[in-house]
Amino acid sequence: MKPLRFALVALLALASFHPLVAAEARPNVLWFIVDDMSANFSCYGEKLIATPHVDRLAREGTRFSHAYTTAPVCSPCRSGFITGLYQTTIGAHHHRSGRGAEKIVLPAETAPVPAIFQRAGYYTCIGSGLPDTGRAGKGKNAKKAAGGALGKTDYNFEWDKKIYDSHDWAGRQAGQPFFMQVQLAGGKLRGGTDTAAQALTARAQAEFGAATDPAKVTLPPYYPRDPVLLRDWAAYLDTVRFTDKHVGDVLARLEQEGILEQTLVIFTTDHGISHARGKQFLYDEGTHVPLVVRGPGIPKNQTRDDLVELIDLAPLSLAAAGLPVPAVMQGKNLFAANYTPRDYAFAARDRCDETVERLRSVRDGRFLYIRNFYPLRPHLQPNAYKDGKSIVQALRALHAAKTLDPLAERLLFSPTRPPEELYEWTTDRWQVKNLAADPAHRATLEKLRARLDRWIVETKDQGPESAAMYDSDMKVYVGEGGRKGKEAGESVTENNIALMKAWAKQGK
Protein backbone atom coordinates (compact mmCIF):
# COMPACT_ATOMS: atom_id res chain seq x y z
CA MET A 1 0.00 0.00 0.00
CA LYS A 2 1.44 3.39 -0.98
CA PRO A 3 2.22 5.87 1.86
CA LEU A 4 -0.41 8.42 0.75
CA ARG A 5 -3.10 5.78 0.43
CA PHE A 6 -2.20 4.37 3.85
CA ALA A 7 -2.46 7.83 5.42
CA LEU A 8 -5.91 8.35 3.91
CA VAL A 9 -7.02 4.94 5.17
CA ALA A 10 -5.76 5.82 8.65
CA LEU A 11 -7.66 9.12 8.67
CA LEU A 12 -10.87 7.43 7.58
CA ALA A 13 -10.42 4.78 10.27
CA LEU A 14 -9.90 7.41 12.96
CA ALA A 15 -13.28 8.90 12.12
CA SER A 16 -15.01 5.73 13.34
CA PHE A 17 -13.13 5.41 16.64
CA HIS A 18 -14.78 4.77 19.93
CA PRO A 19 -14.61 7.77 22.34
CA LEU A 20 -12.10 5.72 24.32
CA VAL A 21 -9.29 7.06 22.12
CA ALA A 22 -9.47 10.33 24.06
CA ALA A 23 -8.34 8.57 27.25
CA GLU A 24 -4.99 9.71 28.64
CA ALA A 25 -3.46 6.24 28.74
CA ARG A 26 -3.89 3.53 26.14
CA PRO A 27 -5.73 0.55 27.61
CA ASN A 28 -4.42 -2.96 27.78
CA VAL A 29 -6.40 -5.38 25.63
CA LEU A 30 -7.00 -8.94 26.83
CA TRP A 31 -8.84 -11.63 24.91
CA PHE A 32 -10.08 -14.87 26.48
CA ILE A 33 -10.30 -17.39 23.63
CA VAL A 34 -11.73 -20.77 24.66
CA ASP A 35 -11.76 -23.99 22.64
CA ASP A 36 -14.88 -25.97 21.73
CA MET A 37 -17.46 -24.27 23.93
CA SER A 38 -20.98 -23.00 23.35
CA ALA A 39 -22.75 -20.32 25.40
CA ASN A 40 -23.38 -22.64 28.37
CA PHE A 41 -22.90 -19.95 31.01
CA SER A 42 -25.31 -18.76 33.68
CA CYS A 43 -25.59 -15.33 32.10
CA TYR A 44 -26.71 -17.05 28.89
CA GLY A 45 -29.36 -19.12 30.64
CA GLU A 46 -27.53 -22.32 31.60
CA LYS A 47 -29.25 -23.62 34.74
CA LEU A 48 -27.30 -26.73 35.71
CA ILE A 49 -24.02 -25.02 36.59
CA ALA A 50 -22.91 -21.65 37.98
CA THR A 51 -20.36 -19.43 36.21
CA PRO A 52 -19.87 -16.45 38.54
CA HIS A 53 -16.79 -14.98 36.88
CA VAL A 54 -18.08 -14.79 33.32
CA ASP A 55 -21.35 -13.57 34.83
CA ARG A 56 -19.35 -10.83 36.53
CA LEU A 57 -17.92 -9.74 33.18
CA ALA A 58 -21.44 -9.56 31.80
CA ARG A 59 -22.68 -7.60 34.81
CA GLU A 60 -19.79 -5.14 34.60
CA GLY A 61 -19.81 -4.94 30.81
CA THR A 62 -21.82 -5.74 27.70
CA ARG A 63 -23.06 -9.21 26.77
CA PHE A 64 -23.89 -10.07 23.16
CA SER A 65 -26.67 -12.61 22.87
CA HIS A 66 -26.31 -13.22 19.12
CA ALA A 67 -22.58 -13.62 18.46
CA TYR A 68 -21.44 -16.16 15.86
CA THR A 69 -18.17 -17.63 14.71
CA THR A 70 -17.45 -17.37 10.99
CA ALA A 71 -16.15 -20.96 10.96
CA PRO A 72 -17.12 -23.76 13.38
CA VAL A 73 -13.64 -25.25 13.65
CA CYS A 74 -10.42 -23.95 15.17
CA SER A 75 -7.92 -22.92 12.50
CA PRO A 76 -10.23 -21.22 9.95
CA CYS A 77 -12.06 -19.23 12.60
CA ARG A 78 -8.81 -18.21 14.30
CA SER A 79 -7.32 -17.21 10.95
CA GLY A 80 -10.36 -15.01 10.49
CA PHE A 81 -10.65 -13.22 13.82
CA ILE A 82 -6.90 -12.56 14.09
CA THR A 83 -7.06 -10.65 10.79
CA GLY A 84 -10.57 -9.19 10.99
CA LEU A 85 -11.39 -10.88 7.69
CA TYR A 86 -13.54 -13.81 6.62
CA GLN A 87 -11.36 -16.89 6.37
CA THR A 88 -12.91 -17.55 2.95
CA THR A 89 -11.58 -14.20 1.70
CA ILE A 90 -7.96 -14.87 2.63
CA GLY A 91 -7.97 -18.52 1.53
CA ALA A 92 -7.52 -19.85 5.07
CA HIS A 93 -10.89 -21.61 5.26
CA HIS A 94 -9.77 -25.26 5.06
CA HIS A 95 -8.91 -26.66 8.47
CA ARG A 96 -5.17 -27.06 9.10
CA SER A 97 -4.31 -25.97 5.58
CA GLY A 98 -1.03 -24.51 4.37
CA ARG A 99 0.90 -26.91 6.64
CA GLY A 100 2.60 -28.81 3.79
CA ALA A 101 4.66 -27.68 0.80
CA GLU A 102 1.83 -25.48 -0.49
CA LYS A 103 1.54 -22.30 1.58
CA ILE A 104 -1.07 -19.61 2.22
CA VAL A 105 0.20 -16.03 2.21
CA LEU A 106 -1.84 -13.06 3.40
CA PRO A 107 -2.49 -10.17 0.99
CA ALA A 108 0.06 -7.38 1.36
CA GLU A 109 -2.46 -4.98 2.92
CA THR A 110 -3.46 -7.51 5.60
CA ALA A 111 -1.68 -8.15 8.90
CA PRO A 112 -2.46 -10.18 12.04
CA VAL A 113 -3.78 -8.01 14.86
CA PRO A 114 -0.80 -8.71 17.19
CA ALA A 115 1.55 -7.31 14.53
CA ILE A 116 -0.48 -4.09 14.36
CA PHE A 117 -0.48 -3.74 18.14
CA GLN A 118 3.23 -4.47 18.29
CA ARG A 119 4.07 -1.79 15.72
CA ALA A 120 2.09 0.65 17.86
CA GLY A 121 4.28 -0.04 20.88
CA TYR A 122 2.13 -2.65 22.62
CA TYR A 123 3.70 -5.64 24.34
CA THR A 124 2.10 -8.62 22.60
CA CYS A 125 1.66 -11.95 24.35
CA ILE A 126 -0.28 -15.18 24.11
CA GLY A 127 -0.53 -17.79 26.86
CA SER A 128 -2.70 -18.82 29.79
CA GLY A 129 -2.83 -15.49 31.63
CA LEU A 130 -1.38 -17.16 34.74
CA PRO A 131 2.42 -17.46 34.95
CA ASP A 132 2.50 -20.89 36.60
CA THR A 133 -0.53 -22.47 34.95
CA GLY A 134 -1.13 -23.86 31.47
CA ARG A 135 -4.25 -23.65 29.31
CA ALA A 136 -5.64 -26.81 30.93
CA GLY A 137 -5.69 -25.29 34.42
CA LYS A 138 -4.28 -27.18 37.41
CA GLY A 139 -4.95 -30.72 36.26
CA LYS A 140 -2.87 -32.94 33.99
CA ASN A 141 -0.41 -31.00 31.81
CA ALA A 142 -1.07 -27.91 33.92
CA LYS A 143 2.29 -26.36 33.14
CA LYS A 144 2.52 -27.42 29.51
CA ALA A 145 1.89 -23.88 28.25
CA ALA A 146 3.63 -22.16 31.15
CA GLY A 147 7.28 -21.30 31.46
CA GLY A 148 7.65 -19.45 28.16
CA ALA A 149 5.73 -21.44 25.54
CA LEU A 150 3.31 -19.47 23.41
CA GLY A 151 -0.40 -20.24 23.62
CA LYS A 152 -2.53 -21.67 20.82
CA THR A 153 -2.46 -19.85 17.49
CA ASP A 154 -3.46 -22.37 14.78
CA TYR A 155 -3.34 -19.86 11.90
CA ASN A 156 -3.50 -21.37 8.42
CA PHE A 157 -1.45 -18.63 6.75
CA GLU A 158 2.27 -17.94 6.96
CA TRP A 159 3.15 -15.72 9.92
CA ASP A 160 6.18 -14.63 11.92
CA LYS A 161 6.32 -15.80 15.54
CA LYS A 162 8.03 -12.53 16.38
CA ILE A 163 4.62 -10.82 16.35
CA TYR A 164 4.39 -12.15 19.91
CA ASP A 165 6.86 -10.77 22.43
CA SER A 166 6.16 -13.38 25.08
CA HIS A 167 3.67 -15.83 26.57
CA ASP A 168 2.82 -13.37 29.36
CA TRP A 169 2.60 -9.62 29.98
CA ALA A 170 4.93 -9.78 32.99
CA GLY A 171 7.95 -9.01 30.80
CA ARG A 172 6.73 -5.67 29.47
CA GLN A 173 8.41 -2.36 30.20
CA ALA A 174 7.04 -0.13 32.96
CA GLY A 175 3.93 1.65 31.72
CA GLN A 176 3.86 -0.27 28.43
CA PRO A 177 0.35 -1.38 27.40
CA PHE A 178 -0.11 -5.00 26.39
CA PHE A 179 -2.24 -7.04 24.02
CA MET A 180 -2.80 -10.45 25.58
CA GLN A 181 -4.56 -13.52 24.22
CA VAL A 182 -5.49 -15.95 27.00
CA GLN A 183 -5.91 -19.29 25.28
CA LEU A 184 -7.87 -21.92 27.23
CA ALA A 185 -8.52 -25.60 26.47
CA GLY A 186 -12.23 -25.26 27.29
CA GLY A 187 -14.33 -28.14 25.98
CA LYS A 188 -11.18 -30.05 25.02
CA LEU A 189 -10.54 -30.66 28.71
CA ARG A 190 -12.99 -33.56 28.64
CA GLY A 191 -11.00 -35.33 25.93
CA GLY A 192 -12.57 -37.45 23.24
CA THR A 193 -13.22 -40.72 25.04
CA ASP A 194 -15.62 -41.89 27.70
CA THR A 195 -12.62 -42.71 29.90
CA ALA A 196 -11.29 -39.15 29.56
CA ALA A 197 -14.73 -37.69 30.30
CA GLN A 198 -14.97 -39.73 33.50
CA ALA A 199 -11.48 -38.59 34.50
CA LEU A 200 -12.56 -34.97 34.06
CA THR A 201 -15.61 -35.68 36.21
CA ALA A 202 -13.32 -37.05 38.94
CA ARG A 203 -11.21 -33.89 38.71
CA ALA A 204 -14.32 -31.74 39.09
CA GLN A 205 -15.37 -33.76 42.12
CA ALA A 206 -11.94 -33.25 43.69
CA GLU A 207 -11.56 -29.54 42.91
CA PHE A 208 -15.14 -28.29 43.24
CA GLY A 209 -16.47 -30.78 45.75
CA ALA A 210 -19.12 -31.97 43.30
CA ALA A 211 -19.37 -32.84 39.62
CA THR A 212 -22.26 -32.29 37.23
CA ASP A 213 -24.78 -35.14 37.44
CA PRO A 214 -25.25 -36.86 34.04
CA ALA A 215 -28.82 -37.75 34.96
CA LYS A 216 -29.73 -34.05 35.18
CA VAL A 217 -28.27 -33.11 31.79
CA THR A 218 -30.60 -31.82 29.07
CA LEU A 219 -29.45 -32.88 25.60
CA PRO A 220 -30.52 -31.45 22.24
CA PRO A 221 -33.55 -33.44 21.00
CA TYR A 222 -31.63 -35.35 18.32
CA TYR A 223 -29.18 -36.94 20.80
CA PRO A 224 -30.34 -40.09 22.65
CA ARG A 225 -30.06 -40.28 26.43
CA ASP A 226 -27.30 -42.83 26.11
CA PRO A 227 -24.96 -43.14 29.13
CA VAL A 228 -21.87 -42.26 27.07
CA LEU A 229 -23.48 -39.09 25.72
CA LEU A 230 -24.82 -38.09 29.12
CA ARG A 231 -21.45 -38.55 30.81
CA ASP A 232 -19.79 -36.59 28.04
CA TRP A 233 -22.21 -33.66 28.26
CA ALA A 234 -21.93 -33.58 32.06
CA ALA A 235 -18.13 -33.53 31.76
CA TYR A 236 -18.44 -30.78 29.14
CA LEU A 237 -20.43 -28.64 31.60
CA ASP A 238 -17.68 -29.18 34.13
CA THR A 239 -15.17 -27.88 31.55
CA VAL A 240 -17.28 -24.72 31.51
CA ARG A 241 -16.86 -24.51 35.29
CA PHE A 242 -13.08 -24.95 35.01
CA THR A 243 -13.01 -22.28 32.31
CA ASP A 244 -14.99 -19.90 34.48
CA LYS A 245 -12.61 -20.48 37.40
CA HIS A 246 -9.61 -19.73 35.19
CA VAL A 247 -11.28 -16.51 34.07
CA GLY A 248 -11.77 -15.57 37.72
CA ASP A 249 -8.11 -16.24 38.50
CA VAL A 250 -6.95 -14.00 35.65
CA LEU A 251 -9.34 -11.22 36.70
CA ALA A 252 -8.00 -11.53 40.26
CA ARG A 253 -4.46 -11.14 38.93
CA LEU A 254 -5.43 -8.01 36.98
CA GLU A 255 -7.00 -6.60 40.16
CA GLN A 256 -3.98 -7.46 42.29
CA GLU A 257 -1.73 -5.68 39.80
CA GLY A 258 -4.07 -2.68 39.82
CA ILE A 259 -4.71 -2.77 36.06
CA LEU A 260 -8.18 -4.30 35.67
CA GLU A 261 -9.91 -0.95 35.19
CA GLN A 262 -7.49 0.05 32.43
CA THR A 263 -7.86 -3.25 30.57
CA LEU A 264 -10.37 -4.04 27.87
CA VAL A 265 -11.42 -7.64 28.52
CA ILE A 266 -13.12 -9.71 25.82
CA PHE A 267 -14.41 -13.20 26.56
CA THR A 268 -15.46 -15.56 23.77
CA THR A 269 -14.95 -19.06 22.34
CA ASP A 270 -13.71 -20.11 18.92
CA HIS A 271 -16.84 -22.16 18.12
CA GLY A 272 -19.45 -24.35 19.75
CA ILE A 273 -19.31 -27.70 21.55
CA SER A 274 -17.56 -30.56 19.78
CA HIS A 275 -20.40 -32.94 18.98
CA ALA A 276 -22.17 -34.64 16.09
CA ARG A 277 -24.08 -31.52 15.05
CA GLY A 278 -21.98 -28.90 16.82
CA LYS A 279 -18.34 -28.27 15.96
CA GLN A 280 -17.75 -28.40 12.17
CA PHE A 281 -21.39 -27.59 11.36
CA LEU A 282 -23.36 -24.40 10.76
CA TYR A 283 -26.27 -24.96 13.12
CA ASP A 284 -26.36 -22.87 16.30
CA GLU A 285 -24.78 -25.77 18.21
CA GLY A 286 -21.63 -25.16 16.18
CA THR A 287 -21.66 -21.42 15.45
CA HIS A 288 -23.33 -19.60 18.36
CA VAL A 289 -20.71 -18.40 20.83
CA PRO A 290 -20.65 -16.29 23.99
CA LEU A 291 -19.22 -12.78 23.67
CA VAL A 292 -18.80 -10.49 26.67
CA VAL A 293 -16.84 -7.21 26.69
CA ARG A 294 -15.81 -5.26 29.79
CA GLY A 295 -13.51 -2.28 30.17
CA PRO A 296 -13.00 1.46 29.80
CA GLY A 297 -15.88 3.10 27.96
CA ILE A 298 -17.92 -0.13 27.68
CA PRO A 299 -21.56 0.15 28.83
CA LYS A 300 -22.20 -1.83 32.02
CA ASN A 301 -24.83 -4.49 32.62
CA GLN A 302 -26.06 -4.22 29.05
CA THR A 303 -27.28 -6.99 26.75
CA ARG A 304 -27.21 -6.48 23.01
CA ASP A 305 -29.21 -8.53 20.54
CA ASP A 306 -27.66 -7.37 17.26
CA LEU A 307 -25.95 -9.92 15.00
CA VAL A 308 -22.18 -9.91 15.50
CA GLU A 309 -19.32 -12.03 14.18
CA LEU A 310 -15.99 -13.00 15.70
CA ILE A 311 -14.13 -11.04 13.01
CA ASP A 312 -15.43 -7.98 14.90
CA LEU A 313 -12.88 -8.61 17.67
CA ALA A 314 -10.04 -7.10 15.62
CA PRO A 315 -11.51 -3.69 14.74
CA LEU A 316 -13.17 -3.39 18.15
CA SER A 317 -9.84 -3.92 19.91
CA LEU A 318 -7.78 -1.66 17.66
CA ALA A 319 -10.29 1.16 17.96
CA ALA A 320 -10.42 0.81 21.75
CA ALA A 321 -6.63 1.26 21.78
CA GLY A 322 -6.85 4.36 19.60
CA LEU A 323 -5.24 2.64 16.62
CA PRO A 324 -6.33 2.97 12.99
CA VAL A 325 -8.60 0.17 11.80
CA PRO A 326 -7.35 -0.98 8.39
CA ALA A 327 -9.98 -0.32 5.74
CA VAL A 328 -9.51 -3.85 4.40
CA MET A 329 -10.99 -5.39 7.58
CA GLN A 330 -14.48 -6.84 7.14
CA GLY A 331 -15.28 -6.85 10.86
CA LYS A 332 -17.01 -3.98 12.64
CA ASN A 333 -16.14 -1.89 15.68
CA LEU A 334 -19.18 -2.81 17.75
CA PHE A 335 -18.84 0.26 19.98
CA ALA A 336 -18.21 2.90 17.30
CA ALA A 337 -20.29 6.06 17.54
CA ASN A 338 -21.46 5.48 13.95
CA TYR A 339 -21.94 1.71 14.34
CA THR A 340 -24.63 0.22 12.12
CA PRO A 341 -25.90 -3.23 13.15
CA ARG A 342 -25.62 -6.04 10.62
CA ASP A 343 -28.68 -7.23 8.76
CA TYR A 344 -27.00 -10.59 8.19
CA ALA A 345 -24.33 -12.86 9.69
CA PHE A 346 -22.40 -15.40 7.62
CA ALA A 347 -20.49 -18.60 8.30
CA ALA A 348 -18.64 -21.24 6.31
CA ARG A 349 -17.37 -24.75 6.85
CA ASP A 350 -14.88 -26.37 4.48
CA ARG A 351 -12.47 -29.29 4.58
CA CYS A 352 -11.87 -30.50 8.13
CA ASP A 353 -8.74 -32.66 8.33
CA GLU A 354 -9.06 -35.20 5.51
CA THR A 355 -12.82 -34.79 5.08
CA VAL A 356 -13.83 -32.60 2.14
CA GLU A 357 -16.88 -30.42 2.74
CA ARG A 358 -18.35 -27.11 1.65
CA LEU A 359 -21.16 -25.47 3.61
CA ARG A 360 -22.22 -21.82 3.64
CA SER A 361 -24.83 -20.03 5.73
CA VAL A 362 -26.48 -16.67 6.17
CA ARG A 363 -28.88 -15.61 8.89
CA ASP A 364 -30.99 -12.57 9.46
CA GLY A 365 -32.81 -11.65 12.64
CA ARG A 366 -35.23 -14.56 12.24
CA PHE A 367 -34.12 -17.20 9.72
CA LEU A 368 -31.00 -19.29 9.09
CA TYR A 369 -30.25 -20.48 5.56
CA ILE A 370 -27.65 -23.22 4.95
CA ARG A 371 -26.40 -24.43 1.58
CA ASN A 372 -24.94 -27.92 1.22
CA PHE A 373 -22.63 -27.96 -1.80
CA TYR A 374 -22.22 -31.76 -1.54
CA PRO A 375 -25.79 -32.91 -0.82
CA LEU A 376 -25.11 -36.48 -1.99
CA ARG A 377 -22.81 -37.01 0.99
CA PRO A 378 -24.06 -37.87 4.51
CA HIS A 379 -24.04 -35.40 7.40
CA LEU A 380 -21.55 -37.50 9.36
CA GLN A 381 -19.00 -38.10 6.66
CA PRO A 382 -16.13 -40.37 7.67
CA ASN A 383 -13.59 -38.34 9.65
CA ALA A 384 -10.78 -39.83 11.72
CA TYR A 385 -10.94 -37.08 14.34
CA LYS A 386 -14.66 -37.25 14.96
CA ASP A 387 -14.96 -41.01 14.53
CA GLY A 388 -12.35 -41.42 17.24
CA LYS A 389 -14.69 -39.85 19.79
CA SER A 390 -16.72 -42.10 22.06
CA ILE A 391 -19.86 -40.04 21.55
CA VAL A 392 -19.77 -40.53 17.76
CA GLN A 393 -18.92 -44.21 18.16
CA ALA A 394 -21.93 -44.59 20.49
CA LEU A 395 -24.19 -42.85 17.98
CA ARG A 396 -22.96 -45.04 15.13
CA ALA A 397 -23.53 -48.17 17.25
CA LEU A 398 -27.08 -47.12 18.06
CA HIS A 399 -27.69 -46.39 14.38
CA ALA A 400 -26.39 -49.82 13.42
CA ALA A 401 -28.63 -51.41 16.04
CA LYS A 402 -31.61 -49.42 14.65
CA THR A 403 -32.46 -48.04 18.08
CA LEU A 404 -32.22 -44.32 17.34
CA ASP A 405 -35.45 -42.37 17.14
CA PRO A 406 -36.61 -41.02 13.73
CA LEU A 407 -35.37 -37.46 14.41
CA ALA A 408 -31.83 -38.62 15.19
CA GLU A 409 -31.84 -40.93 12.19
CA ARG A 410 -32.99 -38.16 9.85
CA LEU A 411 -30.66 -35.44 11.08
CA LEU A 412 -27.54 -37.50 11.81
CA PHE A 413 -27.62 -40.55 9.55
CA SER A 414 -29.52 -39.77 6.38
CA PRO A 415 -27.30 -40.93 3.46
CA THR A 416 -27.88 -37.61 1.68
CA ARG A 417 -28.75 -34.04 2.64
CA PRO A 418 -31.06 -31.43 1.15
CA PRO A 419 -29.20 -28.89 -1.02
CA GLU A 420 -30.77 -26.10 1.03
CA GLU A 421 -31.93 -25.80 4.62
CA LEU A 422 -34.02 -23.03 6.16
CA TYR A 423 -34.80 -22.70 9.85
CA GLU A 424 -36.62 -20.16 11.96
CA TRP A 425 -33.78 -20.09 14.46
CA THR A 426 -35.51 -17.71 16.86
CA THR A 427 -38.19 -20.31 17.63
CA ASP A 428 -36.53 -23.55 16.47
CA ARG A 429 -33.60 -23.53 18.91
CA TRP A 430 -31.91 -26.69 17.63
CA GLN A 431 -32.83 -26.26 13.94
CA VAL A 432 -34.79 -29.46 13.47
CA LYS A 433 -37.60 -28.28 11.16
CA ASN A 434 -36.33 -27.55 7.66
CA LEU A 435 -38.65 -25.01 5.99
CA ALA A 436 -36.82 -24.89 2.65
CA ALA A 437 -39.53 -26.84 0.82
CA ASP A 438 -42.42 -25.00 2.51
CA PRO A 439 -44.22 -22.77 -0.04
CA ALA A 440 -45.14 -20.38 2.78
CA HIS A 441 -41.44 -19.55 3.20
CA ARG A 442 -40.44 -19.44 -0.47
CA ALA A 443 -39.87 -15.67 -0.45
CA THR A 444 -37.58 -15.92 2.57
CA LEU A 445 -35.68 -18.79 0.98
CA GLU A 446 -35.13 -16.87 -2.23
CA LYS A 447 -34.08 -13.71 -0.38
CA LEU A 448 -31.47 -15.47 1.75
CA ARG A 449 -30.28 -17.59 -1.18
CA ALA A 450 -29.64 -14.43 -3.18
CA ARG A 451 -27.96 -12.70 -0.22
CA LEU A 452 -25.58 -15.63 0.23
CA ASP A 453 -24.76 -15.60 -3.49
CA ARG A 454 -23.95 -11.90 -3.24
CA TRP A 455 -21.75 -12.40 -0.16
CA ILE A 456 -19.77 -15.13 -1.92
CA VAL A 457 -19.00 -12.74 -4.77
CA GLU A 458 -18.50 -9.57 -2.70
CA THR A 459 -16.10 -11.18 -0.23
CA LYS A 460 -14.26 -13.18 -2.90
CA ASP A 461 -14.97 -16.54 -1.29
CA GLN A 462 -12.16 -18.78 -2.58
CA GLY A 463 -14.26 -21.95 -2.48
CA PRO A 464 -12.86 -25.48 -2.90
CA GLU A 465 -9.13 -25.94 -2.51
CA SER A 466 -6.97 -27.18 -5.35
CA ALA A 467 -5.98 -30.82 -5.68
CA ALA A 468 -2.37 -29.75 -5.16
CA MET A 469 -3.18 -28.06 -1.83
CA TYR A 470 -5.25 -31.02 -0.62
CA ASP A 471 -2.48 -33.48 -1.49
CA SER A 472 0.12 -31.23 0.13
CA ASP A 473 -1.75 -31.06 3.42
CA MET A 474 -2.71 -34.72 3.39
CA LYS A 475 0.98 -35.66 3.22
CA VAL A 476 1.33 -33.94 6.60
CA TYR A 477 -1.64 -35.84 8.03
CA VAL A 478 -0.44 -39.21 6.78
CA GLY A 479 3.11 -38.32 7.79
CA GLU A 480 1.90 -37.84 11.34
CA GLY A 481 0.65 -41.43 11.25
CA GLY A 482 -3.07 -40.95 10.91
CA ARG A 483 -5.39 -43.05 13.05
CA LYS A 484 -4.91 -46.77 12.61
CA GLY A 485 -7.72 -48.77 11.05
CA LYS A 486 -8.27 -52.50 10.71
CA GLU A 487 -6.12 -52.81 7.61
CA ALA A 488 -2.49 -53.54 8.44
CA GLY A 489 -0.17 -50.77 7.32
CA GLU A 490 -2.98 -48.35 6.53
CA SER A 491 -4.75 -45.72 8.57
CA VAL A 492 -8.28 -44.46 8.92
CA THR A 493 -7.04 -41.15 7.55
CA GLU A 494 -5.56 -42.75 4.42
CA ASN A 495 -8.75 -44.71 3.80
CA ASN A 496 -10.82 -41.54 4.15
CA ILE A 497 -8.55 -39.67 1.74
CA ALA A 498 -9.12 -42.40 -0.85
CA LEU A 499 -12.88 -42.22 -0.25
CA MET A 500 -12.91 -38.42 -0.68
CA LYS A 501 -11.18 -38.76 -4.03
CA ALA A 502 -13.51 -41.56 -5.13
CA TRP A 503 -16.60 -39.54 -4.22
CA ALA A 504 -15.26 -36.54 -6.12
CA LYS A 505 -14.81 -38.66 -9.25
CA GLN A 506 -18.38 -39.90 -8.85
CA GLY A 507 -19.67 -36.34 -8.66
CA LYS A 508 -20.75 -36.67 -5.03
pLDDT in tens, 435-448: 999 999 999 999 99
In this prediction, residues 422-435 reach a mean pLDDT of 98
Q: What is the mean pLDDT of the chain?
A: 93
**What letter does residue 145 receive in the DSSP assignment?**
T
In the structure, what pLDDT confidence band is assigned to residue 376 with cuts at 50, 70 and 90?
Answer: very high
**What letter does residue 297 receive in the DSSP assignment?**
T
Collapsing DSSP states into helix, strand and coil, what is residue 302?
A: strand
User: Do 308 and 68 form a contact (C-beta atoms < 8 A)?
Assistant: yes
Give me the pLDDT at residue 131, please: 86
DSSP β-ladder status, 302-304 and 62-68: parallel
In the structure, what pLDDT confidence band is assigned to residue 489 with cuts at 50, 70 and 90?
Answer: low
pLDDT in tens, 210-261: 999 999 999 999 999 999 999 999 999 999 999 999 999 999 999 999 999 9
d(CA 288, CA 284): 5
Q: Where are the alpha helices (DSSP H) in 128-210?
A: 194-208
d(CA 158, CA 102): 11
d(CA 471, CA 218): 42
**What letter does residue 141 receive in the DSSP assignment?**
T
In the structure, what pLDDT confidence band is assigned to residue 137 with cuts at 50, 70 and 90?
Answer: confident
pLDDT in tens, 168-180: 999 999 999 999 9
DSSP β-ladder status, 302-304 and 308-309: unpaired
Per-domain residue ranges of the chain: 3-204+232-329
Give me the pLDDT at residue 209, please: 98
Strand ranges of the sheet holding 359-363, from the earlier edge strand across to the other edge: 345-349, 359-363, 368-372, 420-423
Give the per-residue SS3 of 263-283: EEEEEEECCCCCCCCCCCCCC
Give me the pLDDT at residue 21, please: 42
In this prediction, residues 382-396 reach a mean pLDDT of 97
d(CA 193, CA 14): 50
- 3-204+232-329 CATH pick, 3.40.720.10, 3.40.50.1950, 3.30.420.40, 3.30.70.20: 3.40.720.10
Q: Which candidate, 300, 289, 375, 288, places its Cα nearest to that of 335?
A: 300
pLDDT in tens, 273-284: 999 999 999 999
Collapsing DSSP states into helix, strand and coil, what is residue 247?
A: helix
Q: Which candidate, 269, 270, 250, 268, places its Cα nearest to that of 260?
A: 250
Cα dihedral: 51, 128, 274, 245 (round 10):
-20
Beta strands in 163-301 (DSSP E): 178-184, 263-269, 288-294
The torsion angles phi and psi of 486, rounded to 5 degrees, stand at -80, -25
Q: Which candidate, 368, 366, 178, 154, places its Cα nearest to that of 270?
A: 154
pLDDT in tens, 202-211: 999 999 999 9
Half-sphere exposure of 12 (CA within 13 A, CB side): 10
* pTM, to two decimals: 0.93
